[in-house]
Amino acid sequence: MRKLKGRSFRLFTFGLCWLVASGAFSASETGNQPVIVIVIDDLGDNRKKGIAAIDLDGAITYAFLPHTPHSKELARIAHQKGKEVILHAPMENKSGLRLGPGALEEHHDHQQLKNILNTGLDSIPYVTGMNNHMGSLLTEDREKMAEIMQVMRRRNLFFLDSVTTSNTVAWKVAREVGVPYILRDTFLDNERNEEYIHQQFKQALKVAMSRGYSVAIGHPYPETVEYLKKALPIVEELGVKLIPASELIRRRSGKPLLLVEKKLNPCDQFEGHCESELTHRH
C-alpha cells in the first residue's frame, strides 16, 4: 500500500484546508472553534507501543485495558504528561472474540457486574471515565447497561460509547441514569495502512468542522502513531482544537446531543481488530 510521505503528505492534507476555505464544509453549528477528541484504545499489554502512543503531542485521551501487565505504569506516565486516562472496559461481543481479564459479560448478575467493573476501575490510576472494548452484545442489553451506569454515576465518571453496534443502548442508558456521555464518530484504523487512516482522519475533521466537535478512536499501532505524529501538528492549522474527552463533555453539558448518521463499517464491531478477525475466519 502506498504511503503518504513528506511533501506529498502535507500537500494532501492541505487539500483539506482548501476544501474548508472554499466552503465545501459548512461552518461549525456552534459558531465556535471546532474541536476533536482522539482516544487511543487498548493500552496496557505492550509497553513499547504504549510509550510511543503516550509520547504523541497534544491532549489525547488514553484508554487502558484492566489488569494488563503495563496498564498501571503507562497510566501514571500518561497522567504525568498531562494526558487524560480512562478505563477501556472489555464487554462481551457477538463474535466470541477473546476479551481478556476484567470482562463484563451477559451471564454476569448485578453483583458480579458491579464487582468486576469496580475492580477494573480501581486497577487503573487517575481514571476520569470509561469506554467499551468490543461490546457489540452487551451494549445492546438495556438491563446490563443500567447496572453498569449506576456504578459510573456513583463514581462520578463519564462514558464514551465506542458504538460497536448500530443497536447500542449504552449512551441512551447513560443519559437516563445521569452519566455524562459522548459517542464515537470515527474509527481511524480498522485497516492498518496510512492511506486508510488518512481518509478516516479527514472524515473525523469533516465532522468536527460541520458539527463543531468529533470523536475519533485509534489504537497504538505503529501505523497509527506514525500517522498522528505528522497529522496532529497540522490540526491547529486547520482551525480545529484537540481536547480531552472530559473537556468535550464539559463544553456540551446541558446541550442536546447532535447525532451524525452512522453507517457502520462491518469492521466497527471488531473495534479496530478487523484484520485479525478476518485472518482468523480464513
Does 6 map to a domain? Answer: no
How far apart (Å, rounded) are the C-alpha atoms in residues 99 and 50?
A: 19
Domain membership of residue 12 (yes or no) is: no
Examine the pLDDT at 268 and tell me if it is beyond 80.
no
What span, in angstroms and rounded, lies between the C-alpha atoms of 112 and 178? 22
CATH number at 53 reads 3.20.20.370
The predicted structure's pLDDT at residue 5:
57
Q: Which residues contact 228 (CB under 8 A, 6 or more apart)?
A: 38, 56, 218
Q: How many domains does the chain have?
A: 1
CA distance 7 to 13: 10
For residue 124, what are the domain limits? 32-256+265-281
Beta bridge partners of 104: 91
Beta partners for residue 89, in sequence order = 132
pLDDT tens digits, 163-194: 999 999 999 999 999 999 999 999 999 999 99
- Domain membership flag for residue 5: no
Is 9 inside a domain boundary?
no
| DSSP code per residue over 7-64 | HHHHHHHHHHHHHHHTTSSPPPTTSS--EEEEEEEEETS-HHHHHHHHTSSS--EEEE
User: Does residue 15 sit within a domain?
Assistant: no
Q: Indicate whether 19 belongs to any domain.
A: no
In a domain, 14, yes or no: no
Enter the DSSP assignment of 104.
B
Alpha-carbon gap, residue 160 to 69, rounded angstroms: 24
- Angle between helix 222-237 and helix 6-21 axes, rounded to 10 deg: 40
Phi-psi region of 39 (alpha: psi -120 to 50; beta: other; left: phi over 0): beta
Predicted confidence band of residue 238 (pLDDT cuts 50, 70, 90): confident
Chain-wide mean pLDDT for the chain? 87
In the structure, what pLDDT confidence band is assigned to residue 13 with cuts at 50, 70 and 90? low
Residue 9: pLDDT band (50, 70, 90) is low
Higher per-residue confidence, 119 vs 267: 119
How do residues 115-160 score in pLDDT, each as one tens digit?
Answer: 999 999 999 999 999 999 999 999 999 999 999 999 999 999 999 9
Beta bridge mates, 213: 35
